[in-house]
Structure 1
């Protein structure tokens, strides 16, 4: 079950249908131009941390409502994002430490998984949390550029 109670399991944004959040193959998404363009307007924008339902890596139908950092907008109108975790990943090159912020009510430090790219639809977002500052966004962006050759 999800961590919030204002939605039933059936109508969790990003879980089902045309607006379902899915995993994207970062090598197959085509030309990607990451940008920092947060606009606190209720829509997900590159540079913002938003909440959506994210499928587990096993792709068995299970998943979890979690924060993701939007890093790029695709030509089709979808967005590419990378997931956050409060689980420590200090010595793991697949993760970027970004510290704490208002996306975590407990104030825990967070890490971003650059090994897994998520495709998000605007209708699949549950809520906009905050904009990540440009410095921390650029840390993630640079690691994505190194790994996938994105511009």
Structure 2
């Protein structure tokens, strides 16, 4: 009996050495575990926001007279630079944060000329005078569009709808014109956006 147990223990130890790391990697990278990590990240973010007194994003607000407006955008490849994840809820907005700004519509003629909308924007960098941001949208028509990338839902949308990030235009966002709600995109999803910027638009 003792010999049988010894042989069984030896076989079990060998299997653990040979297959344990692979099985562990499969479990860690499985969809349920990834979904659980994302849910925990969102819950922690919301808890931190509440502790810091940062309110959840409300419905987009009307334009406030005197508030600087985001009216300039540039093809993303012309703004190529290094992109890195560095959100810090301090005095300045940093890459990885989602902020709100009034964005003018692209139409220069017609009934929408000069009009705009309060929109969430993902900060991906900054210039000397302003933030560099990518516009977010909850419109499902962007699914499958190569100029957009899906990032799922987050605290920047009051209805927790899935969102997409526009990749082909970079907004020049006046920092004095943003509204910060304490929303932060987690590192994994930010890196998926950054990777597309590197692969398709020459960022580093």
TM-score range (shorter-chain normalised) is 0.7 to 0.9
User: CA RMSD, aligned part only?
Assistant: 2.0
SS of the residue aligned with 1:28?
Answer: helix
Question: What TM-score, normalized by structure 1, do the two folds share?
Answer: 0.83
CA distance in 1, matches of 2:181, 2:203: 25
Q: Mean alpha-carbon deviation: is it higher for 42-51 or for 99-108?
A: 42-51
Gaps of 5+ in 1: none
Runs of 4+ in 1 over 4 A off after TM superposition: none
CA distance in 1, matches of 2:120, 2:147: 17
Query: Equivalent of 1:47, from 79, 96, 103?
Result: 96
Q: CA deviation at 1:21?
A: 4.6
Greater RCO (CA < 8 Å, at least 6 residues apart): 1
- Considering fraction of residues, name the structure with more strand: 1
Query: Equivalent of 2:107, from 29, 41, 58?
Result: 58
8 Å contact kept, 2:197–2:203 = yes
SS of the residue aligned with 2:78?
Answer: coil
Query: Equivalent of 1:28, from 78, 81, 84?
Result: 78
Matched, 1:80 2:100: no
Query: Equivalent of 1:4, from 61, 68, 73?
Result: 61
Q: CA deviation at 1:42?
A: 4.9
* Greater gyration radius: 2
8 Å contact kept, 2:149–2:166 = yes
Residue pairs, 1:2-151, within 5 angstroms = 3-4=60-61, 8=64, 10-11=65-66, 13-15=67-69, 20-29=70-79, 31-59=80-108, 60-74=113-127, 76-88=128-140, 89-151=142-204
SS of the residue aligned with 2:77?
Answer: coil
CA distance in 1, matches of 2:91, 2:183: 10
CA distance in 2, matches of 1:86, 1:79: 22
- Considering fraction of residues, name the structure with more helix: 2
- Deviation by residue 1:76-99 (Cα, 9 ceiling, x = unmatched): 142211000000122211111000
8 Å contact kept, 1:21–1:52 = no
